Amino acid sequence: MSNRIEYAKVSPEVYKAFGGVYVAVQKSGLPKELVDLVYLRVSQINGCAYCIDMHSRDLLKSGLAVDKLVLVAVWREGGEVFNVRERAALAWAETVTRVAETGVPDADYEAVIAEFNDKELADLTYAYAIGLMNAFNRFGVTFRSTPAATAAAATAAAARA
């Protein structure tokens, strides 16, 4: 996989604006681990290798247990590995990310508002965690952003050659 274009370099003002939203997410009051779990799950749904790699590494660096990380893609089967708020956020992330398929049903909304207040839900959804990550995934997939693991493997292979 190789980059098609380096979108952050060719359009720095727009990239910087997205970065501002990212900073706002960090200040939203939502727990960082919860946001990172949502980022990872959205990235898994969208098939963004760059973001899956990045957010998996971020979660591991922050101390998330490997046992929990490997179950994010199948969190429903993970049971008590994920707490109630995490399960609600992951379910919401899935239904919003798959909006064309789900239509975000009332039952999904009712389930998430049982765990998050209005501000938290807005922060989790709109242009913050879910909306922002969906946008970044579209950049990563469209422009073939190289995951850190892929770059490291290429560097190691070149060194061996």
Instruction: CATH number for 31-153: choose from 1.10.260.40, 3.30.70.100, 1.20.1290.10, 3.40.225.10.
Output: 1.20.1290.10
Render pLDDT for 70-94 as a digit per residue (tens, 0 to 9). 999 999 999 999 999 999 999 999 9
- What burial class does residue 143 get, using C-beta atoms within 10 Å of its C-beta: 0-12 exposed, 13-18 middle, 19+ buried? middle
Residue 127 has pLDDT above 50, yes or no: no
**In the chain, where the domains are located:** 31-153
Q: How far apart are CA 123 and CA 39, in angstroms?
A: 13
Report helix angle 118-125 to 106-113, nearest 10: 120
Render pLDDT for 56-74 as a digit per residue (tens, 0 to 9). 999 999 999 999 999 999 9
- Higher pLDDT, residue 36 or 10: 36
Look at residue 117 in the predicted model and tell me its pLDDT: 95
Whole-prediction pTM:
0.81
